[in-house]
Chain A
Amino acid sequence: MKNKKTSILVIVALAAMALLAIPGISEATGEMLSDKDVVKDFVSLNPYSILFLVVLGFLGGLLSGFIGSGGAFVLTPGMMSLGVPAAVAVASNMCHKFPKALVGAYKRFKYGQVDIKLGLINGISAVVGVQIGIEIQKMIFAKWGAAGSNLYVSVVFVSVLGILGAYILSDARKSMRSRTGESVSSLAERVKKINIPPMIYFKTANTRISFWVTVPVGLGTGLLAATIAVGGFIGVPGMVYVMGVPAIVATASELVIAFTMGLTGSFTWAMGGFVDIRMVLIILAGSLIGVQVGAVGTTYVKDYMIKFVMAFVMLVVAVSRGFAIPTYLNELGSMQLAENTIVLLKNISFGTMCVALLSGGVIILGSMWMKKKELKAEAKSQQVIQHG
């Protein structure tokens, strides 16, 4: 009976997502595309660009496997730096995202970290959030054009990621000092007391909360996905600090949301023939290895380390987008900048994003290596004791 109920829930959730998502999710680009951006042109790839995409894919995958999202923010500008038109870059990024999220989710499901019910329920409201986000974007685009839209995206990037990143960083430090290495937010404690039916029990997350609490978290995830293309930067903190879900389960369940949003979005882009399958497969060559290393990495670290990496990446990305703001103000006529300065700011912005990705990767791999070293030393000392 219970199984039957779960199956019905899953089917209804999937059907709702498919119906709601397909018409418009492809516009969840992170940047609104003007008519001149929607060019279907496929660049030729040389060994340098192939290596660049594989490395970018690996680092993005590593981050996604570890914190449930990320990587996508640098792949679209990364492809565009190779001369790929914006629409093809967005489409190809999205099409590489869903198989990567699937592999990551499966891997972390095997470790008992994924709460499918949580992922699906949040996924439904995230899809609605995406639609709201698109409407807001369209409104801004109609009023202020592409520069206004990009300025809005950058301001959201800087403010949301700056505030949330700082909060998560301070919480990670608090958790680091606690004996268990975990902390429960007081907001989550209060939220658990809200008793408005239907109440839902999430087994893996081990929490029982009202459905109505999940709605704003999912909406926020979708809204951010439609605005900056990385919904997980609000979805994961939302699950952790509002719903009281452990960071390890929240980041794993976020991959389920990323899969559903990526699948439906990719379908729409592929309908228009915008997906460059060569680039998708080249990025996957790196990202499918990265996502699994990142997933394994979550079993090597405490909860606070996941929060720390997430906060670090969010803050550096916020700084990176901060560098892009003057360019858009210049385009809107609110600021006067020389052409050289614009190019310099764009390069600094993209370079900082790459630094965020690279540093995130170094921190993840570094903490895994340290833990391995620690375990080896422990095993060695135990052997000495036994022989001694």
Chain B
Amino acid sequence: MATNTKERPVGKAIIWGIITVAAYLAVFLNVDTVMGYLTRGGGVFAVIVLVTALFFSFVHGAFANYLIESLGLKPLTKGGH
């Protein structure tokens, strides 16, 4: 039933955590430049906005996944019911 027997992916959580923090720092340390470009509008910059959001969803999403698994929060059943 439970998948609790698997090891907790602490190492992966740390690696993805570092990548996530680096990505956030890259944006927020250069926030004026980033905002300058991404609020210009137009097709190219609109695509960059969406790609940025998707990139963070991938990186931070992976970190969040390993983080909650490391905290012991794993699904109980496959298929849900």
Contacts and interface: CB of A to CB of B under 8 A. Distances in A.
Contact of A270 (B41, B67, B77, B78): B41
Nearest to A297: B73
Given A112-B79, A266-B53, A270-B46, A285 B41 contact: no
A296 B81 contact: no
B68 interface: yes
Interface size class of B (residues with CB under 8 A): 35 or more
B11 interface: no
Given A111-B80, A248-B80, A296 B75 contact: yes
Interface stretch (A95-103, A133-141, A347-355): A95-103
Contacts of A249: 80
A274 B46 CA distance: 10
B31 A278 contact: yes
Given A246-B81, A278-B35, A299 B53 contact: no
A243 interface: no
A364 to B, nearest CB: 12
Interface string B37-66: 011111101110110111011001100110
Given A266-B49, A270-B41, A292 B80 contact: no
Contacts of A111: 75, 77-80
A95 B50 CA distance: 8
Contacts, number: 123
A267 B73 CA distance: 34
Contact of A285 (B38, B52, B60): B60
Nearest to A99: B57
Contacts of B49: 95, 266, 270, 275, 277
A107 B35 CA distance: 31
Interface string B1-36: 010000000000000000000001001100100110
A134 to B, nearest CB: 20
Given A99-B56, A288-B57, 16 more contacts: A102-B54, A111-B78, A248-B81, A266-B53, A267-B46, A270-B45, A270-B50, A273-B38, A274-B39, A277-B52, A278-B34, A284-B57, A292-B64, A293-B73, A299-B77, A299-B80
Interface of B: 2, 24, 27-28, 31, 34-35, 38-43, 45-47, 49-50, 52-54, 56-57, 60-61, 64-65, 67-68, 73-81
29 contacts: A42-B35, A95-B53, A96-B53, A99-B57, A103-B61, A107-B65, A111-B80, A113-B80, A249-B80, A266-B49, A270-B49, A271-B46, A272-B41, A273-B38, A273-B41, A273-B42, A275-B38, A275-B39, A277-B38, A277-B39, A277-B49, A288-B56, A292-B61, A292-B65, A296-B73, A296-B74, A296-B75, A298-B80, A302-B81
